[in-house]
């Protein structure tokens, strides 16, 4: 099987591709689409085929998907980018990639999405059948654009084997995500929760979506222990502002996802069940 991975140089992709190359069955090959040939060199050294091109270039997508059996679309424009760029990458480019995959006869398509697509909590862990209703100012157009990409891909004729992985707050392996979020966490209520997932478990979940026979639809990928804003601050050695304890968490279930489906159907078990176990293992 020839597998195309997009977003290989991003925070998730640069950690996922080496693990995929290491664990792929004998005979399987991995192709990556990168904008910068120099940034693709490390993947070539690991054994990947490298195609240079922009995800937003339709011609490049045709070249990248030619002869491919499966696509894993990891590419994402996240926090800090203008909303129009988030929509261009997360929604528009994903749709064009889906069309290119159909035109090239790709059999399987794995779309990497986000638990933020659910929007407001439901007073319980979010499940895959819940309606997506993203909103809120903190993450910009990222959740909405990812949800719109999901909807368009699910409706696309010819994209018959579509698997969608919704990710939590991803951290570990030196990812600065945990450090960056400290810009906001001190202003949150003490009991506001955040669902986490280590890169090693994100890679595990995506591999299961990619290779499992009979998998279909949406799967939540996350660890077993959502943390509070207090946990995040203490983990980073940052004092908890006293006023945090006076604030009420208006939506303490926001982004907290059930992983029952991926556990029961695909055998997913987090290697790092919580951020605390990752810390103790020196895997942050």
Contact 164, 118 (CB under 8 A): no
DSSP per residue, 55-102: TT-HHHHHHHHTT-SEEEE-----TTS-HHHHIIIIIIIHHHHHHHHH
Integer Cα distance of 215 and 151 in angstroms: 18
Residue ranges of alpha helices (H) inside the chain are 13-23, 37-45, 58-65, 83-86, 94-103, 142-154, 177-180, 199-211, 229-235, 260-266, 275-280
* Residue numbers of the chain with a pLDDT score lower than 70: 136-138
Task: Specify the pLDDT at position 138.
Answer: 62
Task: Specify the pLDDT at position 91.
Answer: 98
Query: Which residue ranges make up each domain of the chain?
Result: 2-171+197-223+257-271
Angle between helices 94-103 and 58-65 (to 10 degrees): 50
Report the CATH fold assignment for 2-171+197-223+257-271. Answer: Rossmann fold (3.40.50)
Ramachandran sector of residue 33 (left: φ over 0; alpha: ψ -120 to 50; beta: rest): beta
Fill in the DSSP letter of residue 274: S
> Looking at the whole model, is its pTM more than 0.75?
yes
Contact 124, 179 (CB under 8 A): no
Integer Cα distance of 23 and 20 in angstroms: 5
Task: Specify the pLDDT at position 137.
Answer: 57
Integer Cα distance of 217 and 200 in angstroms: 22
Task: Specify the pLDDT at position 81.
Answer: 83
Smallest Cα–Cα separation from 263: which of 153, 125, 123?
Answer: 125
């Amino acid at each position: 099987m020839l597998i195309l991975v997009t977003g290989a140089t991003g925070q998730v992709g640069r950690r996922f591709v080496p693990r995929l190359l290491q664990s792929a069955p004998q005979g399987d090959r991995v192709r990556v689409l990168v904008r910068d040939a120099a940034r693709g060199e490390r993947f070539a050294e690991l054994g990947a085929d490298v195609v240079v091109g922009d995800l937003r270039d339709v011609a490049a997508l045709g070249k990248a998907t030619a002869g491919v059996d499966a696509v894993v679309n990891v590419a994402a424009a996240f926090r800090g980018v203008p909303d129009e760029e988030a929509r261009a990458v997360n929604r528009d480019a994903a749709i064009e990639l889906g069309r290119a995959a159909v035109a090239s006869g790709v059999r399987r398509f794995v779309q990497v999405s986000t638990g933020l697509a659910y929007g407001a909590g439901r007073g319980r862990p979010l499940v895959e059948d819940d309606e997506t209703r993203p909103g809120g100012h903190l993450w910009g157009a990222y959740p909405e654009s990812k949800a719109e990409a999901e909807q368009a891909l699910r409706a696309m004729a010819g994209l018959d084997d579509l698997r969608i992985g919704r990710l939590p707050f991803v951290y570990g392996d030196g990812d600065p995500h945990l450090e960056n979020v400290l810009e906001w966490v001190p202003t949150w209520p003490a009991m506001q929760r955040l669902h986490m997932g280590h890169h090693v478990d994100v890679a595990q979940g995506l591999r299961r979506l990619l290779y499992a026979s009979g998998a279909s639809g949406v799967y939540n990928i996350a660890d077993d222990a959502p943390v509070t804003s207090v946990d995040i601050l203490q983990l980073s050695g940052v004092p908890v502002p006293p006023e945090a304890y006076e604030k009420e968490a208006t939506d303490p279930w926001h982004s907290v996802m059930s992983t029952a489906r991926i556990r029961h159907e695909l055998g997913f078990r987090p290697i790092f069940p919580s951020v605390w176990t990752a810390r103790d293992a020196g895997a942050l």
